[in-house]
Copies of this chain bind each other. A is one copy, B any other.
Amino acid sequence: MNEFVLDPRLQADCHFLGEVDAGLLLLFNNALLPWFIVVPRTQVTELYQLDSDLQLRLWQEVNRLSKFIDSEFEVEKLNIAAIGNMVSQLHVHVVGRHSNDYCWPGVVWGTEDREDYRQEQVGSILSALENNYPGRFVANPA
| Residues of A that sit less than 8 Å from B by CB | 45-48, 55-56, 59, 62-63, 66-67, 70, 77-86, 88, 97, 104-107, 109-110
Contact = CB atoms under 8 A, between A and B. Distances in A.
Given A47-B80, A79-B81, A109-B109, 6 more contacts: A48-B78, A59-B59, A77-B84, A85-B105, A85-B106, A86-B105
Nearest to A47: B80
A3 to B, nearest CB: 24
Decide if the interface of chain A is mainly helix, strand, loop or mixed. mixed
Number of copies of this protein chain within its complex: 2
A39 to B, nearest CB: 15
B67 A59 contact: no
Contacts of A82: 78-81
A46 to B, nearest CB: 5
20 contacts: A45-B77, A46-B78, A47-B63, A47-B66, A47-B78, A48-B63, A48-B70, A55-B63, A56-B56, A77-B85, A78-B82, A79-B81, A79-B83, A80-B83, A85-B97, A85-B106, A106-B110, A107-B110, A109-B109, A110-B110
B78 A107 contact: no
B79 A85 contact: yes
A62 B59 CA distance: 13
A70, A79, A85, A107: residue with the most chain B Cβ atoms closer than 10 Å: A85
Contacts of A45: 77
